[in-house]
Amino acid sequence: MGEEITTTDFTPEEFHRFEASLARETRLADEWRSGKRFENNRYVLGFEIEAWLLDHNYFPYSLNEEFLETLDDPLVVPELSRFNVELNCNPLPLGGPTFSDAETDLTGLWHRCNATAHGLDSNMVMIGSLPTIREEDLSLENISPLKRYYALNTQVLRQRGGRPIRIEIEGPQRLSLKRTDVMMEAAATSFQVHLLIPADLAHHYYNTSLMISGPALAAAVNAPFLFGKRLWDETRIPLFEQAIALESRGGDARRVCFGSSYLAEHLSECFHENLDEYPVLLPLCFDEPAEDLRHLRLHNGTIWRWVRPLVGFGNDGLPHLRIEFRILPAGPTILDMIANAAFYVGITHHLVGRRFDEDPALSLEDARVNFYTAARYGLDAKLRWPGTSAVCARDLLLEELLPAARAGLADLNIDADDRDRYIGVVENRVRHGQTGTAWQTAGLDSRGGDFFRLMAAYCERQRSGVEISHWKS
């Protein structure tokens, strides 16, 4: 979805042509797998951060075209709405000071973005959902003026047969509304971790990423509010799932979903599911050789699994496989986000080394329940885990998973200082029970329910760079 297209309307012939190319490229990916063509000896890290542009009243500010033109940095690109942008980092090989290097790079980029925003009389913030957003902000008037976004909106509504999109989220309060466009997606902003892994192990990393998604999310929640209502600890999860509410052909999975199964042998099993179960959404046909996998990659980009497999190409032209871990919210600070990434990489690598997903003691259904329970309740979630009937997310993290993540990072030859710094940030947050959601809810109460004062304090503390566990209410 990061590539611009030339039209918003497609003919039946274009759908048929795209489907034929997609089938051919799916078979080709299978041939590369059996021929051991995928890269099989590196671990590389990458990130995406979705951020907000705000006016001085902490409302969304629709000026991303002017912002991007002024900034002129290829690492910062448009998002669905005119008040969001996406920040990226250059790939970083895992080992040594990877995470401190990532923090330095992203901090520098964030400072350049803020300087540009200030020059345009605006501010920026990283947060899972914006407490001050209004329903009228999420209209097609605020869609980024790129054909791929208009086409996405058109095709989602076409496949729904014109039926409105319903948003129903119930937490301490209840949100119920209908929409006739996909703009609600813009209210959910995330921090996405990309992990390039050896191809022979990629399915283990995929399975294990699903298994640890619940506790990883519980430690990171940062999206309790939407339209003035207190909903889930990570409201972004049900919001994004419902904002693009399209089912697979069999009706067993949605376009935004947790995943339908663990993988048996290879990530290409997901690409076969894409081909067999998900109707084509954007049938843009390319003239490039099938070896570029343009149709496979575009189609895969319109299926938003919370753990998504990706195919890419290195500077040497070799294809590689990546895991995109999409569950984490943006914010509260770059330090907190890098710590979340370090925890994810460390615990996943450690458990893959133990082949935790082989004959798994944690079923897919248990992993799924954990994920949505964590999204609802954060660190207070009761999670299913091997060896226990139910365990508090806080206890599971402190007693088992955080020490295991340190060991995983050590096995990847991450510097001891990085291991201590970033796993320590997550540990402090969990031990003190102060996630982004916990701080926001307490902060709103202490400010008499004033969301604007809450956002003023949140933005001030985010600018300080101090980890969330040390924020004063």
Residue-level pLDDT, tens digit, the chain, 473 residues: 556 566 667 999 999 999 999 999 999 999 999 999 999 999 999 999 999 999 999 999 999 999 999 999 999 999 999 999 999 999 999 999 999 999 999 999 999 999 999 999 999 999 999 999 999 999 999 999 888 888 889 899 888 888 899 999 999 999 999 999 999 999 999 999 999 999 999 999 999 999 999 999 999 999 999 999 999 999 999 999 999 887 667 665 688 999 999 999 999 999 999 999 999 999 999 999 999 999 999 999 999 999 999 999 998 899 999 999 999 999 999 999 999 999 999 999 999 999 999 888 899 999 999 999 999 999 999 999 998 889 999 999 999 999 999 999 999 999 999 999 999 999 999 999 999 999 999 999 999 999 999 999 999 999 999 999 999 98
Domains and CATH numbers, the chain: 12-470 (3.30.590.20)
Distances (CA, A) of 390 to 229, 363, 401: 29, 14, 15
pLDDT at residue 4, as a whole number: 57
Give residue 251's pLDDT. 65
Q: Which residues are registered as beta bridge partners of 192? A: 48
Measured CA to CA, the distance from residue 471 to residue 446 in angstroms comes to: 14
pLDDT of residue 2: 54
Name the nearest CA neighbour of 43 among 336, 323, 337, 300: 323
Q: Considering Cα of 103, then 104, then 105, then 107, what sign does the dihedral take?
A: positive
* Prediction pTM value: 0.96
49 SS3 class: strand
Q: Which residues of 178-207 are buried (b: 16+ CB within 10 A; e: fewer)?
A: ebebbbbbbbbbbbbbbbbbbbebbbbbbb
Dihedral sign, Cα of residue 382, residue 383, residue 384, residue 388? negative
Alpha helices in 301-363 (DSSP H): 334-353
Question: Cα separations (Å) of 75 from 71, 72, 113?
Answer: 10, 9, 11
**Rounded (10°) angle between helices 98-119 and 64-71:** 120
Q: What is the pLDDT of residue 382?
A: 98
What does the alpha-carbon distance between residue 418 and residue 408 come to, in Å, rounded to a whole number? 12
Strands (E), 6-111: 44-54, 76-78, 84-88, 92-93
- Cβ atoms within 10 Å, residue 61: 22
Task: Give 201's Cβ-side CA count (13 Å radius).
Answer: 21
Neighbours of 251 (CB within 10 A): 8
pLDDT at 254: 86
What pLDDT is attached to residue 253?
64
Residue holding tokens 């031990």?
A: 431
Q: So what's the pLDDT on residue 359?
A: 82
Cα gap 332→446, rounded to integer Å? 19
